[in-house]
Amino acid sequence: MLLIATATHAQTQTGELMVVREQFHSMAIEVLESFDPDSVTEVALVVETERLKSIAENAFIEAFTAKGKTVRLAGNGHDGPVVMRVTVLSQETDVEPLPDGKSGRRIGTSIEARCEWPATGEILYRETLSRTHVDTVSVGVAEPLLKPTFLEKIAEPVVVISGAILIVYFLFTVRS
C-alpha cells in the first residue's frame, strides 16, 4: 500500500514539474521573440532562484540554442558578451477541492528577465513575465507533496527530544 502512495506522489511531482518546465520554456521563447538581436550570438545565463534552478536553466538553454545562440552558465563574474539574468519571482501551486471529488490545481510562475551588456552596464531588455496553468486532478494526486505526516510532525520530534534528555540524564547519573 505504501508503494502505491509513493508512486502516486512521484507521478504528481513529475507532472507538476513538467508543467513548471513548460512555463519556463514558454517564457524563454517570449523573451527571445521580444529581444533577439542578430548581433548577439553568445549569452551568459544567470538564473536566480531558491528552488527549481536547473529546470529554469535547462528551459532557457533549450530555447536559446534552438535560436542558434551559444549559452554559457555564468558565475558571479558575469563574464560574457551579453548577460541574461532571470530571477524567479514566484512559483506556487494551489489546490482547491471541487464538489465532484476532484481537486482544481493552479500552478503559477512569474519571472523577471533582464539582458545587459556587462562591460557598460547598459540594460538591453527587461520584462516581467507570468504563466498560469489550471487543471483538474484526482484528490489523491492533488495532495501537497511535502505535507508532513504524523511521524514527521509529532512522533519524530518527541523521540529526538526524549533521546537527548536520556543522554543528558545518563551522563550525570551513570558513573563507571
Range of the domain at 110: 2-145
Residues 37 and 122 in one domain: yes
Could you tell me where the DSSP H helices lie in the chain? Answer: 2-34, 53-66, 139-142, 150, 156-173
For the stretch 120-159, pLDDT in tens is: 888 888 999 999 999 887 765 545 545 667 777 788 888 8
Candidates 25, 112, 90; CA nearest to 60 is 25
Residues 123 and 169 in one domain: no
Q: Please list the ranges in the chain whose pLDDT falls under 50.
A: 1-12, 142, 145
Residues 159 and 85 in one domain: no
Number of compact structural domains in the chain: 2
Q: Could you tell me the CATH number of the domain that includes residue 84?
A: 3.40.50
Candidates 134, 124, 133; CA nearest to 31 is 124
Stated pTM of the model: 0.67
Residues 75 and 134 in one domain: yes
Residues 64 and 28 in one domain: yes
Residue 20 backbone dihedrals phi, psi, to 5 degrees? -65, -45
